[in-house]
Amino acid sequence: MATGLVLYSYWRSSAAYRVRIALNLKGLEYETRPVHLVQDGGQQHAPAFQALNPQEMVPCLLDGDRVITQSLAIMEYLDEMHPELETALLPVDARGRAQVRALAMAVTCDIHPLGNLRVLQQLEAEFGASEEQRATWSRHWMAVGFKAIEEQLSDSAATGRYCHGETPSMADACLIPQVYNALRWKLPMDDYPTIARIHRACNELEAFQRAAPEAQPDAP
Amino acid sequence: MATGLVLYSYWRSSAAYRVRIALNLKGLEYETRPVHLVQDGGQQHAPAFQALNPQEMVPCLLDGDRVITQSLAIMEYLDEMHPELETALLPVDARGRAQVRALAMAVTCDIHPLGNLRVLQQLEAEFGASEEQRATWSRHWMAVGFKAIEEQLSDSAATGRYCHGETPSMADACLIPQVYNALRWKLPMDDYPTIARIHRACNELEAFQRAAPEAQPDAP
């Protein structure tokens, strides 16, 4: 299927990882254009990329001449452009859609922004935060966020093999990259058995395996 | 119109402010239940509220027995439950929807989480950040974010009187509360003429005026 989709991505970017999962779940082929977030002072700040996405961030999706930014906006766009039910990233009912979006945003608004590379760099620059302090900071927000998500998942009748029912959704596409970060930062996952179970279930799927950082063309 | 909507809100919460704007734009009546984020060690942490929203955050919307959390998920829900075109919070075309969502998320994912009360409290606790350092931190992320949003708005042919065309959208509902915060933190707005212009246009509308922090029942 030649869709002409191009994804500006960085192998270890959590937000790009979400979109790679979504593209794979929807069965859409795409070309990866790596943007190295550290080399050359951060290739996302280069004028050519900045012209494409003034936010100077990955992911950024090209669909023909359309430039789509923000991982969740990209996933919603893909779901609207390719509305086939069997690969839907959101359920059909408004309540279920709200639940999936809220879980996704519990990651994308309340955990991930606080442990981002640029934020850790700023903590070092402004407060002289050591590597250990930066790790403690990251783990703190992941622990706060995962505690709430664990409760939401374990309390909800809608939770199934995945975050919402028996098929992976936008919520799983956001949660799994965050768990990847948590393991990288050595956050103990014992307190989050439902999240850990869903993480295992997702990673049995090829769509998630192919989206993993280590499987990317720009992984070292 | 008796919709039975209940909004758990705090007058100065930027995320609750967004949802108040959205409810007003859609012409939906609702009951406000104030949750004081500072008093009593933060009423959002009280067991009764925590049972409702494990994230211990406002806003939280009750629609009958449905509990909807996360400001953007609430706005998407309201738009899906009340799809009348004349009060739509998103345009009809997928590209336009993606642009509006991306603008909204440039605020909700990339600016607002970093200047949140809980984050400033953590900066103080972990790094002994002074009030001036916390203000500098907040202004830094607003300046970075507004610069990108200003470029996106001034570059896009879709920008009109409001963030997207001639009617206010979800993007405006996110941007205006962030500008309110920026003014509170004394960020100079001279570098963001398009944002400042849209801020003025929105605040001429009753939907935005009635949603303002100072107009809330729990404002001091």
CATH number of the structural domain spanning residue B98: 1.20.1050.10
How many interface pairs between A and B have CB atoms less than 8 angstroms apart? 118
Partner-chain contact A102 B140, CB within 8 Å: no
Q: Are residues B161 and B115 in the same domain?
A: yes
Q: Which of B37, B62, B86 is the last residue of a domain?
A: B86
Express as a percent the part of chain B with pLDDT over 70: 99
Q: Are residues A80 and A24 in the same domain?
A: yes
User: Which residue among B105, B113, B136 sits closest to A70, beta carbon to beta carbon?
Assistant: B105
Give the pLDDT of residue B85: 86
Nearest CA in chain B to A79: B94
Q: Are residues A193 and A162 in the same domain?
A: yes
User: Which residue among A74, A109, A136 sits closest to B109, beta carbon to beta carbon?
Assistant: A109
Asked if B59 and B9 count as a contact pair (C-beta separation under 8 A), the reply is yes
ipTM of this predicted structure:
0.96
A30 φ/ψ angles, rounded to the nearest 5 degrees = -155, 160
Express as a percent the part of chain A with pLDDT over 70: 99
Q: Are residues B79 and B129 in the same domain?
A: no
Give the pLDDT of residue B82: 96
Q: Are residues A54 and A114 in the same domain?
A: no
State how many domains chain B has.
2
Give the pLDDT of residue A2: 42
Q: Which of B60, B86, B112 is the last residue of a domain?
A: B86
User: How much is the average pLDDT of B88-105?
Assistant: 97
Write the pLDDT tens digit of every residue in A173-199. 999 999 999 999 999 999 999 999 999
Judged on CB neighbours under 10 Å (0-12, 13-18, 19+), B57 is buried
Give the pLDDT of residue A85: 86
Q: Does some domain include residue B80?
A: yes
Q: Does some domain include residue B218?
A: no
Residue A104 structural domain: 90-205
Q: State how far the Cα of B15 lies from the Cα of A91, in Å rounded to an integer.
A: 25
Integer CA distances (angstroms), B94 to A134, A198, B67, in order = 39, 30, 28
Q: Are residues A60 and A37 in the same domain?
A: yes
Average pLDDT, chain A: 95
Q: Does some domain include residue B217?
A: no
Q: Are residues B65 and B155 in the same domain?
A: no
User: Which residue among B55, B69, B113 sits closest to A114, beta carbon to beta carbon?
Assistant: B113
Q: Does some domain include residue A220?
A: no
Q: How would you list the strands of the sheet with A30-34, edge to edge?
A: A30-34, A5-9, A60-63, A66-69
Q: Are residues B195 and B96 in the same domain?
A: yes
Which of A53, A71, A78, A101 best probes binding to B when mutated, by most B CB atoms within 10 angstroms?
A: A101
User: How much is the average pLDDT of A48-69?
Assistant: 94
Average pLDDT, chain B: 96
Q: Which of B67, B86, B105 is the last residue of a domain?
A: B86
